[in-house]
């Protein structure tokens, strides 16, 4: 199953942010749910069922969201849906419990804070505006007289909303800055090996749950040492940057590209069977051959491997792609070699169960 970019997460970096954020705050989230449960138990003599019900539903939502994210090919949608349903559930509870006098009113701040820890600015601003709308609907809309008589609780909640969101946003921005320095290759701007490991673990878990394939394309520039020796290292670096740009330009946002080091790149193709991955590799080879980065004739050799379901193991797939890539080098370079089909992939090929319409590379890539 091929996953495209979306408004929530247009790039792989955005998507990995959502997945990583959910994993990192898992224990903190459980502590928060525990505090919520303790507060509910202590408050039982004084609160109504209208407050109890949405708070319990919110707790259940937070407890189960990590499992749903792990099992989904669209974790950003699961996370966004959990935040939205939490906000709406709490909003309904506040409206039924008296609006501005409800003890659950401050809890409406939580969903916006959760979004600030996961999503990009446009999504956070949308969540902030939606939260303001829910607060006003649950108070001024549902109980106009009570709200006008004493608007202080509503004003305090809105002020708390802005403060919490801005603090979480600032902390997350700082974390992203340091994280970006750790996982981005400074020369090409591509993701590096540090980003590859956790992403592949996630893809392998999804493949085991869904039985879908994952393909690797290992790409190595041909005769790169000669380029450095002839034109100098500055020109060689410019060639690498241009190659990275061309590869990124002709791949969709969730076809994942990493610089492994030197002149070697790795492309992850989640949900892509062997024939479709080979087609994409061949198209990329033709693109590089034609564009001649920085005016230097440059070609690449590519090796393709595919695993399906339980076969999606990084070491095995990388070894197979590496051997295929070196076979391309031995066979004359500037070509694509595909590793033999894995047992399960071979079964699907023989049974004709592969997708009828392999994922397409953008038109610009078709030379």
Per-residue pLDDT of the chain (367 residues; tens, 9 = 90+): 444 556 777 766 666 666 666 656 666 666 766 777 777 778 777 777 666 777 677 777 766 776 776 667 677 888 888 889 889 988 988 898 889 998 889 989 988 988 887 787 888 899 999 999 999 999 999 999 999 999 999 999 999 999 988 888 777 765 555 554 557 888 888 888 888 888 888 889 888 888 899 999 999 999 999 999 899 989 999 999 999 999 988 887 656 899 998 899 999 999 899 999 999 999 999 999 998 878 888 999 999 999 999 999 999 999 999 999 999 999 999 999 999 988 888 888 888 777 533 333 332 332 2
The confidence score (pLDDT) of residue 135 equals 96
**If we measure between CA atoms, which residue out of 341, 212, 191, 182 comes closest to residue 259?**
191
Which tokens belong to 167? 């603090």
> What is 193-365's CATH superfamily?
Reverse transcriptase/Diguanylate cyclase domain (3.30.70.270)
**Catalytic site residue 263?**
yes
- Would you state the structure tokens that stand for residue 330, as one six-digit string? 């031995």
Asked if 298 and 221 touch (Cβ cutoff 8 Å), the reply is: yes
Q: What pLDDT, on a 0 to 100 scale, did the predictor assign at position 29?
A: 63
Q: What is the pLDDT of residue 330?
A: 95
Whether 40 and 56 have beta carbons less than 8 Å apart is answered as yes
Q: Which tokens is 321 given? A: 């792609």
Catalytic residue among 263, 310, 345, 347: 263
Nearest CA to 202 out of 15, 337, 340, 33 is that of 15
Q: What is the pLDDT of residue 168?
A: 83
Map out the domains of the chain as residue ranges.
12-183, 193-365
CB neighbourhood size of 135 (10 A) = 24
* Six token digits for residue 142: 């549902």
């Amino acid at each position: 199953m091929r996953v495209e970019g979306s408004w929530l997460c247009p790039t792989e970096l955005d998507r990995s942010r959502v997945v990583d954020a959910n994993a990192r705050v898992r224990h903190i989230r459980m502590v928060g749910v525990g505090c919520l449960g303790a507060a509910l138990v202590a408050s039982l003599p004084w609160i109504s069922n209208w407050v109890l019900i949405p708070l319990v539903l919110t707790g259940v939502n937070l407890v189960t969201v990590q499992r749903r994210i792990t099992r989904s090919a669209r974790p950003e949608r699961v996370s966004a849906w959990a935040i939205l349903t939490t906000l709406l559930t709490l909003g309904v509870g506040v409206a039924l419990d008296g609006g501005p006098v409800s003890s659950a009113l401050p809890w409406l701040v939580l969903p916006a804070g959760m979004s600030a820890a996961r999503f990009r600015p446009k999504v956070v601003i949308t969540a902030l505006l939606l939260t303001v709308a829910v607060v006003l609907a649950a108070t001024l809309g549902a109980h106009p007289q009570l709200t006008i008589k004493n608007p202080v609780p509503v004003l305090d909640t809105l002020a708390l909303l802005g403060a919490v969101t801005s603090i979480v946003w600032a902390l997350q921005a700082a974390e992203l800055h340091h994280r970006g320095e750790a996982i981005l290759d400074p020369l090409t701007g591509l993701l590096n090996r540090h980003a590859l490991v956790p992403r592949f673990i996630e893809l392998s878990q999804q493949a085991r749950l869904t039985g879908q394939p994952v393909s690797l394309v290992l790409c190595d520039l041909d005769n790169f040492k000669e380029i450095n020796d002839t034109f100098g290292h500055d020109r060689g670096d410019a060639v690498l940057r241009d190659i990275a740009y061309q590869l990124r330009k002709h791949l969709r946002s969730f076809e994942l590209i990493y610089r492994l080091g030197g002149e070697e790149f790795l492309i992850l193709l989640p949900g892509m069977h062997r024939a479709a991955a080979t087609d994409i590799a061949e198209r990329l080879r033709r693109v590089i051959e034609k564009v001649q980065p920085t005016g230097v004739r440059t070609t690449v050799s590519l090796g393709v491997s595919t695993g399906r379901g339980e076969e999606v193991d990084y070491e095995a797939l990388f070894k197979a792609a590496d051997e295929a890539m070196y076979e391309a080098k031995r066979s004359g370079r500037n070509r694509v070699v595909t590793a033999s089909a894995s047992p399960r992939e071979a079964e699907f090929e023989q049974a004709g169960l592969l997708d009828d319409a392999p994922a397409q590379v953008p038109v610009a890539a078709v030379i």
